[in-house]
A and B are shown apart, each in its own frame.
Chain A
Amino acid sequence: MNDDEPLVRWQWIADHAAELADYTGVHLRLGLLPVVFGLVISVPLGILCHRLRWLYPPVLTVANILYSIPSLALFMIFVRYTGLTEQTVMIPLTLYTLSVLVPNVVDGLASVPEPVRLAATAMGFGTVRRVVQVELPIAVPVVIAGVRVAAVSSISLVAVGQLIGQGGLGYYITRGLQLDFPTPIVTAMVLIMLLALTTDALLVLAQRLLTPWSRSKVTAA
């Protein structure tokens, strides 16, 4: 890099504002849809693991193994099946979220005090109604703690997808390297971190709204 090149050229950001906004939108979609899919899969799977204890250890092992596979390698393995498309980024990211979300759903359900369960049964709640109306709401703080971790890491991992041309703001990271020009890289990183931290803050807010009874004592994992 040229020594008199500043770390950030503000003019470049101003010139590319509209384009940056587009890529930010794509980035959010690529990062957050996997979390939504992950949640849709994890909640029933977590409930099942909570009820059938023997199912949990193998599910946890698979989740841990998936988590340890580097994202770049996992993207590449999917390229053959889904091509250079957004799915190739979103499927692996969804799999990653499972490794955080499933354990948190199970732990959340396990955190429901036994007397609460018994009381619900005594009031005539059937199993389904008890799980949906009593156990899941009590599990919400632990589940959201998992969603926070999953969302933040998912948003920051999306950028790696740029190596198969689907990285949202990651585009500016490769662009900056090609042009030997740090401004796009710094801008993309700051935007990605802002997206992640804003999402995190919104999730904290969502948890406060969803669980007004537990405001003072819950801290995130």
Chain B
Amino acid sequence: MNDFLNQIQLVGDWLTSSAQWQGDEGIPQRLLEHLTYSGLSLLFAALIGLTFGLLVGHTGRGAFAVASVANLARAIPTFGLVVLVVTLAGLSTTPVLIALVALAVPPILINTFEGVRGVDPATRDAARGVGMTEWEILIRVEVPMALPLILLGLRVAAIQVVATATVAAYPGLGGLGRFIVDGLSRNDYELVIGGSTVVVVLALVVQAVFTALRRVVVSPGLRAAATKS
């Protein structure tokens, strides 16, 4: 217990020391790098995952392919993928973004697909009955009803990307993982644990943002159904 308090003290000292908050190796700079990698990857992944998820979910074509991608994707070791991409293509932002996008697409794709496919066929038929076009059914009926699952997919993807961008520091990329990797190689535990704390806080903030987003955009009638993860 005492040790735990010491650890908190250590982290507190590290976080509040002004040296951590300035320059190219300070927390703001690393945070900015981390958010840039994560944000860009998530954006591309969302474009790909949402497009295909909505298409496959609405038409029902390619469902088997989506399920296979899902299963296989979970088994890919993230750490290996990032390192492999760097070894093959050299160290720069683009190859690392590709690895992160590859990670983030599956959860978005699968949840979007499951969400749209899960819409009650009677609801869909009713929408057809009142004269909606296929496009209107997708945008005004299926998407709103699938929204809890779609957001869950985006949240899982965002958390995975934020976590993996940490690992990407190992082959020499910036971002918050630098503190951990540099701290480990210099045997500087304070740096390791300080960096880890920042990463944990960022992950929790991402989680909270998505929880808040769900409150705002999901129709009240659907909220109860959206609690499962």
From residue A61, how far is it (CB to closest CB) to chain B in Å? 10
Known interface pairs A103-B229, A170-B80. Does A153 touch B207 (Cβ–Cβ under 8 Å)? Answer: no
From residue B98, how far is it (CB to closest CB) to chain A in Å? 15
A170 and B77 contact, CB distance less than 8 A: yes
Interface string of A170-211 (1 = CB under 8 A from B): 100110110011100110110011001100100000000000
A159 within 8 A of B: yes
B177 within 8 A of A: yes
B228 within 8 A of A: yes
A72 and B229 contact, CB distance less than 8 A: no
A1 within 8 A of B: yes
B200 within 8 A of A: yes
B79 and A170 contact, CB distance less than 8 A: yes
- Mark out the residues of chain B between 62 and 98 whose CB falls within 8 Å of any chain A CB in the assembled complex: 71-72, 74-81, 83-84, 86-88, 90
B105 within 8 A of A: no
A95 within 8 A of B: no
CA distance in complex: A135, B18 (Å): 57
Cross-chain contact of B159 among A68, A155, A181 (Cβ < 8 A): A68
Residues of B within 8 A of A71 (CB): 163
B203 and A186 contact, CB distance less than 8 A: no
Residues of A within 8 A of B112 (CB): none
- Interface size counted on chain B using CB atoms at 8 A: 44
From residue A129, how far is it (CB to closest CB) to chain B in Å? 29
From residue A176, how far is it (CB to closest CB) to chain B in Å? 6
CA distance in complex: A162, B200 (Å): 20
B74 and A79 contact, CB distance less than 8 A: no
From residue B99, how far is it (CB to closest CB) to chain A in Å? 12
- Interface residues of chain A: helix, strand, loop or mixed (majority): helix
B170 within 8 A of A: yes
A69 and B203 contact, CB distance less than 8 A: yes
Known interface pairs A68-B204, A69-B200, A163-B170. Does A173 touch B79 (Cβ–Cβ under 8 Å)? Answer: yes
A173 and B207 contact, CB distance less than 8 A: no
Known interface pairs A1-B88, A81-B3. Does A70 touch B184 (Cβ–Cβ under 8 Å)? Answer: no
CA distance in complex: A188, B84 (Å): 10
A77 and B76 contact, CB distance less than 8 A: no
A152 and B75 contact, CB distance less than 8 A: yes
CA distance in complex: A79, B78 (Å): 21
B56 within 8 A of A: no
B20 within 8 A of A: no
Residues of B within 8 A of A99 (CB): 229
B87 and A176 contact, CB distance less than 8 A: yes
Q: Could you write out 8 A-B pairs with CB less than 8 Å apart? A: A73-B203, A80-B193, A159-B77, A164-B184, A173-B79, A174-B170, A177-B83, A188-B80
Binding site for B on A (CB under 8 A): 1, 7, 64-65, 67-74, 76-77, 79-81, 99, 103, 107, 149, 152-153, 155-160, 162-164, 167, 170, 173-174, 176-177, 180-182, 185-186, 188-189, 192-193, 196-197, 200
Query: Which 8 A-B pairs have CB atoms at the shortest separation, nearest pair first?
Result: A70-B163, A196-B75, A73-B196, A189-B80, A76-B196, A73-B199, A156-B77, A159-B77
